Chain A
Amino acid sequence: MLRIGGYLIASLHTGLDDGQLASFRRAIVDEVGRGETRGVVIDLGAVDVLDSFACFAVWQITQMVGLRGADTVVVGVAPDVAFAMVKLGVDLGNARTAADVDEGLNVLQLHPHADPGTRPGCSVRQITGKAACRW
């Protein structure tokens, strides 16, 4: 986990089990409390498959981080993984997304506290004028 000023960058690795996920979640939420953390970038670039369990876990993290007063942006969802997720019928709830870590930080810095009602990815496209995901 990296900290850049008021932002955290957390990378999820493939093959997380319940125990590891719980520690990961705990670490992020604890870290959010330390100092003024305005946002967290969750990097899913190293994850090969996002099944319903993994999506639920990511959603949990965004909810918990939100309760602690910080924003979350999920980045690094590979095109194949995104296709499989859509076909499977899961999503990341109302978590915002961006293409990579840089764009994620961009989103957090320029557009904090997005309206929870927006669909993931759309807010970024409208506001920054760039495509949210590179296919």
Chain B
Amino acid sequence: MGDRPSSPPGSVDSDREGDPIVELIPLIRRVVAARVRDYQLVDDLVQETLARVMAARHRIERDTLAPYAVTTARNLIIAVGQGTDRARRKAHLLVDGAADPPADHDLLQEEETSLVGLALARLSPAERDVLLAHEVEGTGTAELAARREVSPGAIAAQLNRTRAKLRVEYLLADGAVVPPTDRCRPVLFALSTGDRRRQRELDTAGHLLECDCCLELSVTLFDRRPPVEVADEARVRVTVDADVVTARQKGREIAARAGFTPTELTVIATAISEIARNIVKFAHRGEIVIRMIDEPARCGVTVVARDAGPGIADVSDAMQDGYSTYRGLGLGLPGARRLMDEFDVASEIGKGTTVTMAKWRNRPAAIPSKMTSEGPPR
């Protein structure tokens, strides 16, 4: 650790009271270890933090030593992260030209601080207290839980929710956006927390079809989340022609997992293509969700295509061959119905259209459990 400095001016009389710096070590270690995986790097960062705190201890009051140490540790972590990124990006260059922070760095920091302040102001006092205690003062969840007589898990969950809320408020403050409807904030919050059940309850996807403001913000909120591979489902946003191809390729992939034959896959892809083109031509924006169903009673795919477009005035008309509002071609609905096993259209003028289709396999997906070493059951 190195020798303790011998009575620098203004320092606390450390021998008798127990060195406050030493007392900080567990706190710093916990803060760093929570954010950095590599244990050697954790050690290095703890050392560096302590060194800096020790260097500055003569001008810091005892009460603020802990927050100072926590902030120093976190800044170091960020700097290391940025340094690693930059090193990786510029590994091939001989001279790193961007070593100095850009000129507007301070201005941006100031702006960001005020935005964070605005966002924090929108939290409830209780939420804000817990968040600041944890993030700024470095209080652990166990202690926060004990103080409030709840479980540490509850505190951790509350912190996640508070962070999610902060993200939303920060983005709103950053864009100086006022959400147009009452639905917006709950939807954005559900997206920020990544709570799929809540998203389904609120029908966030439906809201995003109607609300441009939330759609833009959702892009940033989605970027944050780690990609979740749900193997049995694909969601494709459909706005341009290229999305038609994406939708039918994803459809093929999901349907392939259900075990359809190549011919059936092409049939399903064709049906998806017809419906997707409808969305592009008439609704301009929509979403297609392809799901694989693998249950004992049935195995296959469902395709739900919905849009917030003009709607279809008379569905029965549209379901007749040759009915068209465009270019001499039909709307593709009767065709898609012929290709699939189940087909349903729900539409409301001015609200939008939802097409639901399904195709089932004739044979089960799983290997029959009665298969024995003697061969298939007779």
Contacts and interface: CB of A to CB of B under 8 A. Distances in A.
Contacts of A49: 248, 266, 269-270, 273
Given A53-B277, A78-B266, A89-B335, 13 more contacts: A17-B241, A48-B248, A48-B266, A49-B266, A49-B269, A51-B270, A52-B329, A80-B266, A80-B267, A84-B266, A85-B270, A88-B339, A89-B338
A50 interface: yes
A14 interface: yes
Contacts of B348: none
Nearest to A20: B241
B332 interface: yes
Contacts of B274: 51-52, 88
Contacts, number: 73
Given A87-B338, A89-B321, A81 B328 contact: no
Interface size class of A (residues with CB under 8 A): 20 to 34
B262 A80 contact: yes
Contact of B330 (A48, A52, A81, A83): A52
12 contacts: A14-B245, A15-B244, A49-B273, A51-B277, A52-B330, A52-B335, A56-B329, A80-B263, A83-B267, A84-B266, A88-B336, A89-B335
B327 interface: yes
B288 to A, nearest CB: 14
A105 to B, nearest CB: 27
SS class, residues of chain A in contact with chain B: helix
SS class, residues of chain B in contact with chain A: helix
Interface residues of B, number: 29
B269 A48 contact: yes
Nearest to A55: B329
Of A15, A49, A79, A87, chain B has the most CB atoms within 10 Å of the CB of A49
A90 interface: yes
B250 to A, nearest CB: 13
Given A15-B242, A56-B327, A50 B335 contact: no
A81 B274 CA distance: 14
Contact of A88 (B242, B252, B335): B335
A88 B321 contact: no
A88 B248 contact: no
Contacts of B24: none
B334 interface: yes
Interface in A34-61: 48-53, 56
Nearest to A18: B241
B240 interface: yes
